[in-house]
Amino acid sequence: MHFNTFRRIVFVAALGFGFISVARGGGIEVPQQGARAAGQADAFTAQADDPSAIFYNPAGLTQLKGTNFSGGVFAIFPEFHFSGEGGESMRLPSVLPHLYAESDFGLERWRFGIGLNDTMGINEDWGNNGPLALLVDKASLTLLSLSPTVSYKVNDHFSAGVALNAYWGELNVRRNVMLGAPPIPEGTFHFRGHDEAVGVTPGIMWKIDSRNTIGAYYRSPYRLDFEGDARITAKGVPEIGPSSASTTLDFPQSAGIGYAVRPVEPLKVEADVIWTDWSSFGKSSISSSDPHFNGQKTVYDWKSGFTFRLGAQYDLTPHWVLRAGYAYGQNAIPTSTFSPLVPDSNYHLFAAGIGYETDRWSIDLAYQYIYRERRHIHDNLYSPMTDGTWDNQMNCLMLTAGYKL
């Protein structure tokens, strides 16, 4: 498969939105892909009643009529604190885009769509002078997904759909390295690589009756072989590289199921359970013909876990809607391999949202506050550099606008 056209599309979209990526949920996932869902803590698997269904549950597209467009941005304002030796903090705002389009093309049972979003990522800058610099100075992972989608309404109760996910990823890592005993200065190691991959997301939706709906989806695993170059630079020392190098990451499979109910006509409530197989992150190593880089290993040993989401939507009027939700996510990273690259822990997410809709236009705004539980790290693989207390909280805003032809 040739990805040249895909590369041009995602690069133009990325430059147009000026986006960068950030680790948000368990591991490195970013499940906020639409403000309607985000206002309900992303409990949307059994609703998926706007074009963002392309991500949340492709089967949900059958609830739409005509041609619909939606797009917006997700702004994240994180605060990381490390109280180890010297202490360090990091505040690095990020903005991610999402774009969706779908149409029935005049057909009664079929729906077709396409989406562009960033579902996983890292964006960090700890600086090159503190105790963490030998582990990570700067790191970024951008992972764009272009998703052609089709869904089919079997009958008034059951629908099925599938999205083909074409991924483009770029990985950048920079850290300090020891080149020798003082007074030899520390050097800077830099790796940059990119790759493409393909996955699928099938989903189903069962409308039991006018009040009760069940939805489910499965997102397949995929592998990215980041191919690029590595180099080491230092003041007063000849540069090593750049040399061709590559490293492989196996991204996880996941599955979710949701149940939505309307206990009374203006109110809709949904509960979701999401499983993500983070155990795919075992370890990785750099392959290069240059012995300075070949064989460098990183151990992850991440573990699979669950996310639990509960969200509600209340129709104030035919035009105005209020939303709220709560989510709890399990930590994916054990103490033994905890590092500043992904300072993960169990998290609590509190969400609120508001929406306004006319026959043609809609606009939705969501706010999320994410608190990661404090972690005390001692005697792990990267001690004593990581020894100390780690705290993290995030304030997030999402805006999505929609238009119907």
| pLDDT tens string 39-68 | 999 999 999 999 999 999 999 999 999 999
Q: Which residues are bridge partners to 248 per DSSP?
A: 225
Task: State how far the Cα of 246 lies from the Cα of 265, in Å rounded to an integer.
Answer: 55
Strand-pairing partners, residue 192, are 172, 229
Domain boundaries, the chain: 4-404
Query: To the nearest 10°, the Cα dihedral for 271, 272, 273, 277?
Result: -160
Q: Where residue 26 falls among pLDDT bands split at 50, 70, 90? A: low
Q: Tell which phi-psi region holds residue 253, choosing left (phi > 0), alpha (psi between -120 and 50) or beta.
A: beta
* 8 Å CB contact between 97 and 116: yes
pLDDT the model gives residue 126? 87
pLDDT at 25: 52
CA dihedral (325, 213, 257, 309) in degrees, to 10, reads 10
Is it true that the peptide bond before 242 is cis, omega within 30 degrees of 0? Answer: yes
What pLDDT score does 27 carry?
66
Nearest to 358 by CA among 320, 323, 399, 322: 320
What does the pLDDT average to over 268-289?
Answer: 95
CB 17 within 8 A of CB 118: no
Long-range contacts of 261-268 (CB under 8 A, 24+ apart): 261/211, 261/212, 261/213, 262/210, 262/211, 262/212, 263/211, 265/315, 266/314, 266/315, 266/316, 267/312, 267/313, 267/314, 267/315, 268/47, 268/312, 268/313, 268/314
Find the range with the poorest average confidence among 197-206, 246-255, 289-298.
289-298
In the beta sheet, which residues pair with residue 276? 254, 305
Q: Can you tell me which residue has the tokens 């039991």?
A: 208
The Cα-based distances of 350 to 35, 91, 197 in angstroms read 14, 20, 33
What's the pLDDT band for 16 if we cut at 50, 70, 90?
very low
pLDDT at 371 over 90: yes
Is the pLDDT at 161 greater than 90, yes or no? yes
Instruction: Please tell me the distance from the alpha carbon of residue 132 to that of residue 174, in angstroms, as a whole number.
Output: 12
Rounded to an integer, the average pLDDT of 359-376 is 96
- Among 22, 52, 23, smallest CA distance to 355 is for 52
| Strand duo 297-299 + 283-288: pairing | antiparallel
Per the CB < 8 A criterion, the answer to whether 91 and 67 are in contact is: no
**In the block, residue with structure tokens 């970024």:** 140
pLDDT class of 250 with cuts at 50, 70, 90: very high
Q: What is the DSSP letter of 35?
A: H
Architecture, CATH, for domain 4-404: Beta Barrel (2.40)
Beta strand 388-404 with 67-82 is antiparallel
288-293 mean pLDDT: 91
> Nearest-CA neighbor of 397 among 73, 40, 60, 104?
73
What is the predicted pLDDT for the residue at 132? 87
Region of residue 379 (left: phi > 0; alpha: psi -120 to 50; beta: else): left
Question: Quick one: pLDDT at residue 185?
Answer: 76
* Rounded-to-integer distance, Cα 302 and Cα 332, Å: 5
The letter for the amino acid at 338 is F
Whole-model pTM above 0.75? yes
